[in-house]
Chains A and B, each alone.
Chain A
Amino acid sequence: MDSPPMDTPPMDTPPMDTPHVPLLDVQDLTVEFATRRGPVRAVRRVSLSIARGETLGVVGESGSGKSVTSYAVMRILDRAGRIAEGSIAFSGVPLRELGEGEMQDIRGREISMIFQNPRAALNPIRTVGRQIADVLLRHGQATRANARAKAIEALEQVRIARAAERYDAYPFELSGGMCQRIVIALALACRPRLLIADEPTTGLDVTTQKAVMDLVSELTRARGMSTLLITHDLGLAAAYCDRVVVMQQGEVVESAASHSIFRAPQHAYTRRLMRATPRPGARLRDLLPEGGAVPEPVATAPAAAPDAPPLLEVSSLVKEYPRAGAAGLLTRWLKRGAPPAPFRAVDGISFTIRRGESLGLVGESGCGKSTTSMMLMRLLDPSSGSIRFLGQEIGAMPARGFAASPLRRRIQMVFQDPTDSLNPRLTAARAIADPILRMGEARGAALRARIDELADLVGLPRALLHRFPHQLSGGQKARVGIARAIALNPDLVILDEPTAALDVSVQAVVLNLLQDLKLRLGMSYLFVSHDLHVVRLLCDRVIVMRQGRIVEEGSAEQVLEAPRADYTRELIAAIPHPPI
């Protein structure tokens, strides 16, 4: 079943190759998964079609069945999944009726696919060039003699510099963005007619995302290919697709041309999704579902006088790490070189946060923003520089002993991953009670009342308080994390990408909650994020970081509307957003 005779290509003369027949036509597709609790229908009666040269976006939140639909089309569902009903026609050929061998001829040659998390999508112990050559050889697009040259050619087409050298590279030697280019080269090597892109930019940095998407759209357009783009990001779909299909819980709820779906969404779910997506000009309250928005609470805490001393004052903060490989004595002796200069994760940054203010800290992965927040939290010791909080120098207090400091309760944090930040063995109530038990005074009935009060504040139903983390949804876990952070009325809360792991509609609710809490309790926020649009919604001022340094600082308005640094401009340009 391996290599078919290469002189009889099965798809070159499809039976009804007329412009009226869509390239891909899926009708009433239903996919079932066998689980311990019986079959579950992940996709229900989904119909969609793609015309030649068209780009179709499939948009939905996690669990909407959008990826499963594409795996069903490729017939690469895992063992537990099967197509229960429906038809899939590719260029008139019914794919469900093909044998596995015939289907293999189609995969990679007629329809190919690119995936999220590109590094994991490549075989870690085979050179990237050989992986491309494997596909070329399989589909008879190259011979043993010229496979290398053809693979290098495929690499050059995705603009990989020094392609001949990269042929012999392994995935772990390349950056995430570079790996995604390799995956694209792999997918386009045999010049297929349809490309399925499954969340191709998830996990990549904003600027890399744009480069990858531009490359895909340019290459597919130049070859007259059709594209099926699967994404959770409405903005991305709007920017790159001709038509958009919106999926919710395994069903298609709306299907229309991009421009019309964004101007006049018909289905309630689409409208909710659209509203929840952060976009220029929208305010926090605009993200909530229609009719669901309540007025913002009036600030009860008095605003600090502008000339009051700042709450937090950071100056010339530095964090250095020794370079990898500098450790082993024997290695050093073998190499006989001076140890390399240490790596500066944070390279001398200074800023202040005033009482009642929200400061945004924006940058791509590796820019030092997380290291900075860990140092401010006093979970990590800085190499040099000072951190003054409430007039006291806390940078010099060792992180190990800071738990005993009376200042501990006044700086708290909301973590990026709500699941990881809750102890799996503690109930929600116990997690919220933790700081009060350790550092507060309330006990017994007073403690129980305080926990109920906090649950109400963050909108967590009291009935859920006795549940363990794995029995709560992502949004509920985020609320528990927030309740724990504010339990002792801290002065400063660091929000470390608090919504990065959440669906966009949950993100809208959580962001609004954070804003309400701030106004009601008079806290200050340091909001760490990679997304300028999200930061703008919540913050008064913004700092942009790159390679451990601050490249721009200013009011949120100014940084977004009139950025001064080139890098900030690049960041803003890279964020796709719906054309509203």
Chain B
Amino acid sequence: MAETPALPAEAPSPLAALLRHARHVVAGNPVTALAFLLFLLLLLCAVLGPVLAPHDPLASDTTRALAAPSARHPFGTDHLGRDILSRVVVAARLDMGIAIFSVALVFLLGGLAGVAAGFFGGWTDRIVGRLADTIMAFPLFVLAMGIVAALGNTVTNIVIATAIVNFPLYARIARAEAAVRREAGYVQAARLTGNGEIRVLLTTILPNILPIMAVQMSLTMGYAILNAAGLSFIGLGVKPPTPEWGIMVAEGASYIVSGEWWVALFPGLALMLAVFTFNLLGDGLRDIVDPQRRS
């Protein structure tokens, strides 16, 4: 390809440099390393959940209902005698899946709309801005409730609702970053070197915005998980007996007042851990992608 950049022979590949830098950041920041380990653990549960679970997450055994944590059931059992540990592990796939799909969806739609709005301005900007403003005029969780109620009570619609309520955030960040760069010196310079507008957008502006959006993605992943779990806590989306953290907390809620704390606690902790991991990871990612801090 004639387009490949001609780098001097001694230049290290950008990927190797990034990896070296990532190692440097992780070494200097044990919290990021911890977040990364937690992330791997979550990923492991999501991928291999059914294999890892010691019991069948759906098998009920009323003789063992509401048993406190023990060696056989480290997290105890619920009102139908199902093993909570197994249910928590297996639920990772669904909870993470909802979060990842909704964030990926909004990353694509919101990110592209925002970049286009910031870069082209004019009508594009006005339409995207009005759309984002209208969504922002609602309390976000309330809007998500309304959307799921109207579209129908399914997991897919939870993904869509979560993506819609996150749209303004992504569109605004992408728009602001693109608008700042539109008149930046190096973007003007790219125009002078014969790049058309679309090319400037794709080769000069997007690569400089992507890292910021990636950080945003990790940070909103936590919010997406909370949003989805909140919806299923009030009975939307996921139907019992499917294991899902939000609905498991909801099932455990009635046993809290009678002292059976483990039913709600462990799925709640799992939820918290997942959100916590993504928040920490977002902060760590910010350090890794920031080229100013690379040395």
Contacts and interface: CB of A to CB of B under 8 A. Distances in A.
Q: Are any A and B Cβ atoms less than 8 Å apart in their complex?
A: yes
B5 A413 contact: no
B195 A403 contact: yes
B156 interface: no
Interface stretch (B109-117, B158-166, B182-190, B272-280): B182-190
Contacts of B189: 413, 415, 421-423, 434, 481, 484
Contacts of A457: none
Nearest to A481: B189
B192 interface: yes
Contact of B193 (A447, A466, A484): A484
B186 A439 contact: no
Contacts of B295: 471
Nearest to B28: A36
B189 to A, nearest CB: 5
Contacts of A417: 185
A271 interface: no
A404 interface: yes
A465 B8 contact: yes
Contacts of B11: 427, 429, 465-466
Contact of A403 (B5, B191, B207): B191
Contact of A470 (B3, B6, B12, B291): B291
B292 interface: yes
B291 A468 contact: yes
Nearest to A409: B194
A403 B191 CA distance: 6
B194 A438 contact: yes
A135 to B, nearest CB: 37
Interface string A419-440: 0111111010110011101110
Interface in A79-137: none
B196 interface: yes
Contact of A412 (B6, B192, B207): B192
Given A412-B192, A438-B195, A470-B292, A421 B7 contact: no
A438 B8 contact: no
A448 interface: yes
A408 interface: yes
A416 B188 CA distance: 12
A390 interface: no
A466 B7 contact: yes
A443 B194 CA distance: 16
A466 B5 CA distance: 12
B185 A434 contact: no
Contacts of A401: 196
A377 B188 CA distance: 10
Contacts of A451: 6, 8
B197 interface: yes
Interface in B249-295: 291-292, 294-295
A325 interface: no
Given A404-B196, A437-B3, A484-B193, A415 B8 contact: no
B7 A420 contact: no
B185 A416 contact: yes
Contacts of B6: 429-430, 433, 437, 443-444, 447-448, 451
B16 interface: no
B295 to A, nearest CB: 8
A429 B186 contact: no
A429 B10 CA distance: 11
Given A423-B204, A425-B207, A415 B193 contact: no
A230 B217 CA distance: 47
A429 B8 CA distance: 7
B190 A427 contact: no
Contacts of B191: 379, 403
Contacts of B10: 466
Interface in A447-468: 447-448, 451, 462, 465-466, 468
A400 interface: yes
B62 interface: no
Given A420-B186, A443-B2, A466-B8, A425 B208 contact: yes
A413 B291 contact: no
Given A420-B185, A421-B186, A448 B196 contact: no
A435 B6 CA distance: 12
A122 B153 CA distance: 56
A217 B12 CA distance: 56
A39 B56 CA distance: 60
Interface of B: 2-3, 5-8, 10-12, 184-186, 188-197, 199, 204, 207-208, 291-292, 294-295
22 contacts: A377-B188, A401-B196, A403-B191, A403-B196, A403-B197, A404-B194, A420-B184, A422-B186, A422-B189, A424-B292, A425-B207, A429-B6, A429-B8, A430-B5, A435-B194, A437-B3, A438-B193, A439-B193, A448-B6, A466-B7, A466-B8, A470-B292
Given A421-B186, A451-B6, 7 more contacts: A412-B192, A422-B186, A434-B193, A444-B6, A465-B8, A470-B291, A484-B193
Q: What 4 pairs across the A-B complex have the smallest Cβ distances?
A: A421-B185, A435-B193, A466-B11, A420-B185
